[in-house]
């Protein structure tokens, strides 16, 4: 006891000590405070002041010795075991010890509270439902970031407090010389070290979790903004397409055609501005894809759709401008030809027959005719076949009318020239000349000509009237041009399909020769990294097989459909099985990408790219087969829009369905290769019919398992794979790799022969039951949407129905076999 503490007071202030000490105390030494008592009690008294003050605490009677000075105390206790309060050698302060101990306990409680706060915040982030509005996402990002920074400040403050506490402990330890005290202080320092380490680990884990969550939120916000930009851009391009289709491909007059060209030029300017904006959206999509956005497939599809729309608009405007320019040129030629014909008709009609009686008159008339023929339109001197080929049959009816008038006029001029030449060469005779005989035939021929009518006689044809005949014919036949509009569009689609197919084949060949073959070239071996040696089949997959199919088979098939585009659907359906090569290519794609990421910086690839003069790297060309599949279904959709005949529409629709089914199959197979932990061969389960994520509850008949499952209030998140012969339950796990590729941990397998379904579950329209082995185990499955539920139930019913039909067929065959066996036995018995 300290000399400043009244006797018995320390025990009353420390009831815990008073309860634990009596079992171990044998003697109580009380150092008498100076001036407190006037007389000293007996040293051996058992009823002295110290005992009386503490008898409420000490229920056991024990000897109490009252001491008058520290010197008396030293007779009982060695000075090396006393603290400085008793002027001894042990450096100890009760208050300092309490402060340090309190600080350690407070720090431990604070670390525990920080851990609880981090866990609560993490759970809140995981369970947060993502809204569909960008403003709400931005608010969540701001609020989550603000709270994250606050927590980071709290963690830094606690870390600072821990480091300060550790520093204080080190200071105290340095001043201590007692081995036992140093050991106690070292234990306290280890505790603080451990708490600091736990706090840093929690901070690091929380930083990683928040970074992933924050990145996903940002990518989701980017996807929302990108989808809005895509929808706006799609609407604008749709309006431009409608405006382009509203501009006629052919005008009836030169003025109208000029106006159509002006309107098309304005539309082209507007379209170029909007397509520049579309290119910005596409570039933004590529940047998002480069940053490994989780919605990579959707973004690539959106970019391809925008690019395809822009290509269609550009080609349509270019084709229409060329068509209108040719139409304007032809209309100008038609007007010039019509004027020349009208002038020729007037010239023939105005020549007086009596002037032909002299040689000079005939020669003068011949000169007029020669001069008029020299002024004939040079373009219309060619044959009709050459003109039709040159102008691609634009305004063919008008061209025929004009050409007919031109032939008639030339025939009339030739007849007149023949007559005039005979008159010019003949000698003058003293007889009266009469009108040459060919004149009546010429008049008759002139009456039959389209340039004249019987009532005009020899009156010259009126120019405007003649031109009005051509315009009338043009208006009466204009439906032919409009009828060819869809055909022209279909032809454009077919040309695009064949041209892009040819480019695709050339790109595949350049990759195979410029990269794959170079891997076997000895002169390039010094540039080839060791990780790539003997790995060409991993890097390129079955690209050679894809190239062989397209270059030798499919390209020729498409070229054969150029004149008969209605056969395109049948062409795709005929080669449906050949397209399965893409499934193997896409299944190898993750391995190829992994190898590419490991070796992309190799000088080998740079050298190959420089030789090929490619602007893009090899990884862009390895993506071409996947992009080509998407392109096919877009082109088939465009052909289907412009096909009117039901038979060919059915073939095109079937071809489109087959390509969409192939894309789905490729996607499903790429998910299937990510399944881990399945003890068996997945190929034995049949084809992958469907796959997707669901919430699942499990119920068992066994009581113990059932109670365990009932304790699970939250559903399990499972990824289901439906095969022809089995249903697999897996757990999706997102691997923390470079491309964040998910994989699926196998959990259970249900044979479809023992599966049953209950389509409706009370309380939720999106739920249904899958029960196994006579409801021994029941899986309550909740689909993300009602449409997904209906699609899965439809496919499951098909599989179960097919299995039932197969069993019925087996039983029928078995019964027939048994009946025939009985008949054979009966027949043999009769024979015997």
Task: Give the tens place of pLDDT for each residue, 344-373.
Answer: 777 776 666 556 667 777 777 777 778 777
Q: What is the dihedral of CA 520, 521, 525, 526, to 10 degrees?
A: -160
pLDDT at 542: 93
The runs of H, that is alpha helices, within 383-528 are: 384-391, 396-425, 438-448, 463-476, 479-511
The 10s digit of each residue's pLDDT in 278-315 is 999 999 888 888 888 888 888 889 899 999 999 999 99
Question: In terms of DSSP bridges, do strands 675-676 and 742-751 run parallel, antiparallel, or are they unpaired?
Answer: parallel
For residue 211, give the H/E element and its range.
helix 179-246
pLDDT tops 60 at residue 23: no
The 10s digit of each residue's pLDDT in 754-805 is 999 999 988 889 999 999 887 889 999 999 999 999 999 999 999 999 888 8
Distances (CA, A) of 798 to 367, 552, 719: 90, 38, 21
DSSP states of 673-710:
TTEES--S-GGGG--EEEEEEEEEEEEESSHHHHHHHH
pLDDT at 418: 73
DSSP states of 2-64:
-TTSPTTHHHHH-HHHHHHSTTT---EEEEPPTTT-SSPPPTT-SSSHHHHHTTTT--S---E
pLDDT band for position 51 (cuts 50, 70, 90): very low
pLDDT band for position 20 (cuts 50, 70, 90): very low
pLDDT tops 70 at residue 814: no
pLDDT band for position 172 (cuts 50, 70, 90): confident
pLDDT at 240: 93
- The whole-number average pLDDT for the span 154-173 is 85
pLDDT tops 90 at residue 504: yes
pLDDT at 222: 85
Whether residue 246 contacts residue 266, with contact meaning beta carbons closer than 8 Å, is answered with no
* Segment among 408-422, 464-478, 773-787 with least mean pLDDT: 464-478
pLDDT band for position 274 (cuts 50, 70, 90): very high
pLDDT tops 50 at residue 704: no
Helix (H, G, I), strand (E, B) or coil at 249: coil
pLDDT at 449: 34
Helix (H, G, I), strand (E, B) or coil at 733: strand
Q: Which among 690, 568, 687, 585 is positioned nearest to 636, based on CA atoms?
A: 568
């Amino acid at each position: 006891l300290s000399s400043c503490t009244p006797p018995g007071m320390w025990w009353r202030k420390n009831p815990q000590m008073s309860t634990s000490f009596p079992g171990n105390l044998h003697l109580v030494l009380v150092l008498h405070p100076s001036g407190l008592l006037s007389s000293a009690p007996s040293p051996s008294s058992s009823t002295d002041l110290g005992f009386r003050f503490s008898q409420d605490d000490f229920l056991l009677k024990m000897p109490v010795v009252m001491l008058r000075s520290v010197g008396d105390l030293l007779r009982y206790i060695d000075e090396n075991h006393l603290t400085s309060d008793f002027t001894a050698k042990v450096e100890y302060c009760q208050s300092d010890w309490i402060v340090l101990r309190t600080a350690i306990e407070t720090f431990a409680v604070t670390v525990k509270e920080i851990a609880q706060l981090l866990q609560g915040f993490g759970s809140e982030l995981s369970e947060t439902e993502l809204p569909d509005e960008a403003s709400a996402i931005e608010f969540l990002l701001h609020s989550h970031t603000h709270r994250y920074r606050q927590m980071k400040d709290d963690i830094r403050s606690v870390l600072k407090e821990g480091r300060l506490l550790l520093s204080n402990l080190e200071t105290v330890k340095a001043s201590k010389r007692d081995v036992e005290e140093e050991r106690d202080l070292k234990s306290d320092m280890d505790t603080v070290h451990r708490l600091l380490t736990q706090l840093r680990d929690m901070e690091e884990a929380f930083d990683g979790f928040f970074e992933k969550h924050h990145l996903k939120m940002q990518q989701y916000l980017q996807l929302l903004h990108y989808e809005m930009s895509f929808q706006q851009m799609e609407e604008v391009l749709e309006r431009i397409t409608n405006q382009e289709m509203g501009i006629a491909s052919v005008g009836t007059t030169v003025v109208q055609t000029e106006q159509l060209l002006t309107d098309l030029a304005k539309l082209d300017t507007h379209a170029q501005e909007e397509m520049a904006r579309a290119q910005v959206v596409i570039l933004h999509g590529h940047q998002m894809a480069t940053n490994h956005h989780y919605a990579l497939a959707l973004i690539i599809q959106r970019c391809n759709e925008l690019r395809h729309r822009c290509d269609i608009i550009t080609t349509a405007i270019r084709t229409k401008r060329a068509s209108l320019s040719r139409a304007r040129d032809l209309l100008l030629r038609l007007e010039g030809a019509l004027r020349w014909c009208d002038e020729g008709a007037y010239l023939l009609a105005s020549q007086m027959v009596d002037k032909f009686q002299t040689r000079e008159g005939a020669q003068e008339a011949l000169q007029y005719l020669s001069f008029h023929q020299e002024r004939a339109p040079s373009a219309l001197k060619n044959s009709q076949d050459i003109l039709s080929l040159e102008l691609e049959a634009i305004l063919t009816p008008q061209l025929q009318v004009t050409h007919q008038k031109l032939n008639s006029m030339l025939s009339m001029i030739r007849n007149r020239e023949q007559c005039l030449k005979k008159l010019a060469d003949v000698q003058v005779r003293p007889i009266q000349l009469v009108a040459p005989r060919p004149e009546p035939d010429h008049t008759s021929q002139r009456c039959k000509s389209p340039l004249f009518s019987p009532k005009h006689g020899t009156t010259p044809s009126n120019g405007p009237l003649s031109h009005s005949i051509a315009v009338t014919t043009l208006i009466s036949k204009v439906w032919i041009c409009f009828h060819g509009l869809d055909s022209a569009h279909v032809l454009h689609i077919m040309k695009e399909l064949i041209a892009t197919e040819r480019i695709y084949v050339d790109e595949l060949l350049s990759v195979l020769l410029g990269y794959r073959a170079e891997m076997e070239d000895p002169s390039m071996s010094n540039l080839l990294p060791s990780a790539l040696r003997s790995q060409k089949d991993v890097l390129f997959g079955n690209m050679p097989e894809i190239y062989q199919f397209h270059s030798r088979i499919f390209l020729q098939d498409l070229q054969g459909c150029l004149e008969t585009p209605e056969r395109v659907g049948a062409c795709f359906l005929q080669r449906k099985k050949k397209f399965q090569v893409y499934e193997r290519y896409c299944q190898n794609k993750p391995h190829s990408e992994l190898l590419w990421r490991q070796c992309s910086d190799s000088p080998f690839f740079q050298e190959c790219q420089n030789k090929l003069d490619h602007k893009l790297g090899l990884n862009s060309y390895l993506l071409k087969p996947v992009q080509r599949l998407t392109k096919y279904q877009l082109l088939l959709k465009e052909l289907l829009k412009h096909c009117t005949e039901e038979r060919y529409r059915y073939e095109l629709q079937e071809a489109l369905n087959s390509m969409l089914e192939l894309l789905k199959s490729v996607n499903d197979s790429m998910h299937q290769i990510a399944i881990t932990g399945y003890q068996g061969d997945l190929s034995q389960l049949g084809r992958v019919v469907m796959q997707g994520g669901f919430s699942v509850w499990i119920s068992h008949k066994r009581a113990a398992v059932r109670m365990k499952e009932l304790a699970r209030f939250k559903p399990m998140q499972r990824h289901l794979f439906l095969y022809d012969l089995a249903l697999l339950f897996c757990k999706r796990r997102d691997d923390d790799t470079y491309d964040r590729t998910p994989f699926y941990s196998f959990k259970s397998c249900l044979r479809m022969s023992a599966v049953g379904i209950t389509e409706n579950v009370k309380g939720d329209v999106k739920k249904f039951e899958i029960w196994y082995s006579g409801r021994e185990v029941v899986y309550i499955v909740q689909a993300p949407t009602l449409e997904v539920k209906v699609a899965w139930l439809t496919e499951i019913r098909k599989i179960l129905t097919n299995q039932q039909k197969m069993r019925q067929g087996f039983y029928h065959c078995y019964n027939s076999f048994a009946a025939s066996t009985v008949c054979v036995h009966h027949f043999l018995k009769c024979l015997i």
